[in-house]
Amino acid sequence: MSLIGTRSITSALGTVLLFACAPVPPSVAPPSLPAGVFGVYEDNDVGALNQSSWAFAAPWRTHNDPIDAARAVIAVEYLADELHNNPRWVGMDVTSALGMVQARKDTRRVLGIAQDVPPRIVVDALLRLTASLSASDQAEAIRVLSSPMFTLQPSQTLQILSNLPYIQSANIATLQAANGVLVR
């Protein structure tokens, strides 16, 4: 075989291998957030990193504040997909994205959120919850938490959000991701 033929085969194989390593788009749409969820002037990615790392590093910060606790959970739900899928974060250490996926699983376990529910549905429900709690609409908050995706009684879920326990994987993943943004 000639040198040109060998190079052609090598080039073709290299191209095929590159395409085989390309990320596969998720089969379910990842969560999206409306502007300003984490503050008026923050983009949602940075705001989610700030909110979640702040809340999960010291759970007493959200004590008796289920709105801030729910926002921290929203952040983890959102970031688990965002850090993996958004090209903006391509330079971030892969362990940050993997850690955020584990944090999402552990946070769902603590709050009694079914593991098989798509993140977008969880985020939408938690956004409705924060809106109802902000408006002091307890009936709507209970209605949101009565969804089958929540495996605990609504009052139990609200109690957990009012006294969010320490979730080690969430603490580590959110701090690691936030620090990864600082060193980029």
Residue with tokens 């000639």: 2
**pLDDT by 10s per residue, the chain, length 184:** 566 666 666 665 555 555 555 554 445 677 888 888 888 667 888 899 999 999 999 999 999 999 999 999 999 999 999 988 888 888 888 888 899 999 999 999 999 999 999 999 999 999 999 999 999 999 999 999 999 999 999 999 999 999 999 999 999 999 999 887 765 5
Q: What is the dihedral of CA 42, 46, 51, 57, to 10 degrees?
A: -150
CA 20 to chain centre: 26
Residue with tokens 């409306």: 34
Q: What is the three-class DSSP state of 56? A: helix
For position 12, what pLDDT does the model report?
Answer: 55
Contact 35, 127 (CB under 8 A): no
- Rounded Cα distance between 174 and 136, Å, is 29
Structure tokens at 148: 């089958």
For position 85, what pLDDT does the model report?
Answer: 86
Contact 48, 22 (CB under 8 A): no
pTM: 0.82
